[in-house]
Structure 1
Amino acid sequence: MIEARELTRRYGSKTAVDSLSFTVRPGVVTGFLGPNGAGKSTTLRMILGLHTPTSGSVTVDGRRFRDRPRGLRHVGALLDAGDVQGGRTARAHLAVLARGNRIPLPRVDEVLSEVGLAAAAGRRIGGFSLGMRQRLGIAGALLGDPPVLLFDEPLNGLDPEGVKWVRGLFRRLAAEGRTVFVSSHLMSEMEHTADELVVIGRGALIAAESLTDFAARGARLSVTVGTPDRALLTALLLSAGAEVREESGLLTVTGLPAARIGALALEHGLPLDQLTTRTASLEEAFMELTADSVEYPAGDAR
């Protein structure tokens, strides 16, 4: 479990993380979302003891990470897949990590096989593609078989097969009772990956809840309606207090549920070709709820 309490980090007059409190529970995949510059990477680095909080605290299973010897046995992390020595082979890179954390060396080949790099174990990392480096970074996170795992943008450079594999990996790790915390800017990917969300903007907490609850409190539900007499139905819906707009020959209605729209149409003898409730996507909810937290929105003249 990861617990942040009033976690704050300032750089001079700039506050990167602002009184941030959240809990990441074991047994589920928790997505960590926020616009660029929201403070996600700074928060992850404070969890790992790489940055010291200005105030507040963050613990992993009740202790600061920096107080734990042989850290890879407790927390595995992928922060920057490019932050490796390109002249080393994949096996040598992981062997250095294993020795420093007193992890048996046979574990190196186990994780290389698990991430699909067994055939590339003897190749120098400098010749790896971005996707291969991502897989190597994930192997490093898995090396100590830790109960807590952090991943920062783990899907960068992965092909569709790799993305599918990572989704399955995160699900499996969570099903084993581990704490899995995944930072990403890909909202659509979180829809397929995460159970819970921690969403921040300008360093402050926006939401910490289930993915379903977050999407539901974003853009309002709408109903798509098809009818041969759009003008009459529009007038009826407006008089009932709904908001209506026409798109591609269909009506998009907010403010009335589908059952009420159907009842109005039936009452006035209007046939309906379509009556579909549409829920907000995670991306729509994210864009709406973080709109005021984007550091440099498009069109900003600064």
Structure 2
Amino acid sequence: MIEARGLTKRYGDKKAVDDLTFTVRPGLVTGFLGPNGAGKSTTMRMILGLDAPTSGSVTVNGRPYTKAVAPMREVGALIDAKAIHGGRSAYHHLLALAQTNNLPRRRVGEVLELTGLTQVARKRSGGFSLGMGQRLGIAAALLGDPQVLMFDEPVNGLDPDGIRWIREFMRTLAGEGRTVFVSSHLMSEMEHTADHLIVIGRGRLQADCSVKEFIERNSELSVTVRTPDPGSLMRLLAASGARIEARGDGALTVRGLTPPQVGDLAFDAGIRVHELAPHQASLEEAFMEMTRDQVEYRASAGGPASGSGFGGQPPAEPPLPSRGRRGRGRDRQDDPHHLIGA
């Protein structure tokens, strides 16, 4: 279980994360959503102890993750799939992680097979495609067989078969009673994968509810109707307070009335109906509706991207440290958690 209480991170005058309180529970796939710059990556880094909160706290299984005795056995994280030594093979990358975290060598072969990388295990990871790099990052997260798993954009670069695999795999992990926390911009995948959602905007909590509740709260049910007498039905429904839109395919989209209400009105008036179907917005549509005022940068139709609502200020989430050759080695040696999800 992951618990955040009043979690806040400030960079100068800018709050990247602003008083976040939420719980990620075991047995569920919890989606972590928000526009770019909302504070998702900063929040995940604070959970892992890679960034220190300005105020508030966050614990994993009741204590700060930095105090974990065997970190990779408690949490498996995919934060940056590119954080690997390109000169190492997939096998030796995972073996180094296993040996430095006191994990059995056999786990390397197990996670390679689990993620479909057995055939390329001895190839240099620097030559991997984006999708193969994602699979290697997921393999590293699974190495310690942890009860808590965190994935940041896990389907990035995966082909359709890989996307279906990670979707089913995350649901299997949650079904085993594990805590699965996943950040993604692919709303269609979240709609099919997540049980629960935590949504933030401008660093603040916007929603903490099930996917179904989120869609219902942030969208309006519409009804698709087909009839050989659309004019009469439109006048009838308008008189009952409905909003009607005539579509190009001959159907009507009705808002403000439920399907039973539309059907009863048509029946009572003797109007024949050939189709009567409810339509609920997708997660993507509901998300766009909820966060339209939270977007930090929005491209205009005829010109370059421009700031929206932030007066042209830089994104809330700061750039990652330089990864030049000398800087990379120094950063990784100084960071006791640099092997997490590497």
Q: TM-score, normalised by structure 1?
A: 0.98
Which residue of structure 1 lines up, in the alignment, with residue 210 of structure 2?
A: 210
Q: Kindly report the root-mean-square deviation, in angstroms, between the aligned alpha carbons of the 2 structures.
A: 1.0
Q: How does 1:128-167 map to 2 (within 5 A)?
A: 128-167=128-167
Paired residue type of 2:20:
L
Aligned equivalents of 1:258 and 1:104: distance in 2?
Answer: 59
Paired residue secondary structure (1:145): coil
CA distance, structure 1, for counterparts of residue 176 and residue 259 of structure 2? 41
Q: CA deviation at 1:121?
A: 1.3
The answer to whether the aligner puts 1:117 opposite 2:149 as a matched pair is: no
Check conservation: 1:151, 1:181, Cα contact below 8 A: yes
Could you tell me how far apart the structure 2 residues matched to 1:165 and 1:265 are? 46
Unpaired stretches in structure 1, ≥5 consecutive residues: none
Amino acid at match of 1:259: P
Give the match's secondary structure for 2:276.
strand
SS in 2 for 1:253: strand
Secondary structure of 1:86's counterpart equals coil
Shift of 1:184: 0.1
* Cα deviation, residue 263, structure 1: 1.3
* 1:227–1:153 CA distance, 2 compared to 1 (3 A): same
Aligned match of 1:273: 274
Alignment of 1:206-285 (within 5 A): 206-248=206-248, 249-285=250-286
**Correspondence for 2:176:** 176
CA distance in structure 2 between the partners assigned to 1:301 and 1:109 by the alignment = 48
Whole-angstrom CA distance in 2 between matches of 1:112 and 1:265:
60
State the shift of 1:296 in Å. 0.8
1:28 has 2:28 as partner: yes
Deviation at 1:219, TM superposition (A): 1.3
What residue identity is the alignment partner of 2:281? A
2:298 and 2:306 in contact (8 A); partners too: no
**What residue identity is the alignment partner of 1:272?**
V
* Displacement of 1:114: 1.0
> What is the aligned partner in structure 2 of residue 70 from structure 1?
70
Letter in 1 for 2:21: S
Q: Residue type of the partner of 2:236?
A: L
The aligned amino acid for 1:200 is I
Unpaired stretches in structure 2, ≥5 consecutive residues: 308-342
Question: How many residue pairs get matched?
Answer: 302
The 3 A distance-change label for structure 1 pair 279 and 83 is same
How far off its partner does 1:96 sit?
Answer: 1.4
Counterpart residue identity of residue 285, structure 1: A
Equivalent residue number for residue 326 of structure 2: none
How high is the TM-score relative to the length of structure 2?
Answer: 0.86
How many angstroms apart in 1 are the aligned matches of 2:165 and 2:258? 39
Q: Tell me how far 1:258 sits from its aligned partner.
A: 1.1
> What is the rounded CA distance, in whole Å, between the counterparts of 1:160 and 1:282 in structure 2?
20
Cα deviation, residue 228, structure 1 = 1.8
Cα deviation for residue 301 of structure 1 reads: 3.4
Structure 1 residue identity aligned to 2:92: A
Q: Partner residue of 2:336?
A: none
Q: State the AA in 2 paired with 1:71.
A: P
* Structure 1: distance between partners of 2:277 and 2:172: 35
Identity %: 61
Contact 2:148 2:180 survives alignment (8 Å): yes
Q: Does 1:192 align with 2:173?
A: no
Query: 1:70: Cα distance to partner?
Result: 2.4
Deviation at 1:69, TM superposition (A): 2.4
In the aligned structure 1, how far is the partner of 2:69 from the partner of 2:130?
31
Deviation at 1:17, TM superposition (A): 0.7
Once the 2 structures are TM-superposed, how far is the Cα of residue 27 of structure 1 from its aligned partner?
0.6
Deviations 1:33-81 (A, max 9, x none): 1111111111100000000001111100101001112210110000111
Distance 2:155 2:222 in 1: 32
Question: How far apart are the structure 2 equivalents of 1:116 and 1:266?
Answer: 57
Between the aligned partners of 1:123 and 1:229, the Cα distance in structure 2 is 66
